[in-house]
Amino acid sequence: MTTSALLGSLAVILYLSATLLVAMRIGYNQANTFHRRRILLATAAAVILHGLALGQAVIQPSHLLFSWGIGLSTIGWASALMLLAANLTKSIETLGLFVWPLAMVGVVAQHLAGSPHPLPIEYGAHILLAILAYSILGLATAQAVLYSIQERHFKRHRISQLLKALPPLTLMEKTLYQLLILGFTTLTFALLTGAFFVEDLFAQSLIHKTFFSITAWIIYALLLWGHFRRGWRGQKAAKATFLAFFLLVLSYLGSQFVLEILLNRL
């Protein structure tokens, strides 16, 4: 087993531990402070180990190594890192039920899926912004899932253990739109840098990625405009968030899977 694989395996164990701790806290309605501390410590250790494993797999002296598996792992790592940072000021570790399994899948995909290929370092700004955008908007989607469930149960006057573990509905909505604004802004810069660094965004090998990314950007723009100008919220906002992020998933994972696995072009 390589050092990168060993570090990744330890990260998976810690992500799984944090996920189980959140699930146990919700299921048994246990004390918040004690489990929150253990959850954040396990997550911090997992993020560090995951990051070290990624660094060994990606960073080379004159180029970067990249594959769709490494991309998924990077998105999972960035999402876990941002969730950890967000929990320094907000108690939203419940989102880890969505984020940490994604990070675990990413670690596995990094070592099993796709052969890495070299990538010029000058594309680093575009790649970093794109991954940050996917990660932030992935967090927003997870937040939208919980917000949707909470809002529906609130209207039906159903109080479950999950709802008791979540922040108030108004804070959930505020956090959702904060993530959407940050993610939309980052996605905008990612598309702009792509226009500068990528020679032909509408080449045959990139047309699917470009089309789905721009379509997702339009949906996010309409959602934010509708919220601030027309007061859109609730299930309408949640569904739009799901759709836009689904298109982003297709833009990256779908196109990379076709190119690397089905067409074997990379």
Interior angle at CA 43, CA 42 and CA 47, nearest 5: 120
Residues 112 and 130 in one domain: no
Which residues span the domain enclosing 189? 120-266
Residues 83 and 144 in one domain: no
Residues 145 and 127 in one domain: yes
Determine contact, residues 143/176, Cβ cutoff 8 Å.
yes
Helix (H, G, I), strand (E, B) or coil at 130: helix
Residues 230 and 144 in one domain: yes
Q: For residues 53 and 57, what is the distance between their CA atoms, to the nearest angstrom? A: 6
Helix (H, G, I), strand (E, B) or coil at 203: coil
Residues 91 and 135 in one domain: no
User: pLDDT tens, position by position, for the chain (266 residues)?
Assistant: 688 888 999 999 999 999 998 888 777 665 556 678 888 999 999 999 999 998 888 877 777 777 778 888 888 998 899 889 888 888 788 888 888 999 999 999 888 866 777 777 667 667 778 888 888 898 899 889 888 888 887 776 666 666 666 677 788 888 889 899 999 999 998 888 877 766 555 554 556 777 888 899 999 999 999 988 888 888 888 899 999 999 888 876 655 554 454 445 44
Domain count of the fold of the chain = 2
Ranges of beta strands (E only) in 17-167 are: 64-66, 117-119
The pTM (predicted TM-score) of the whole model is 0.76
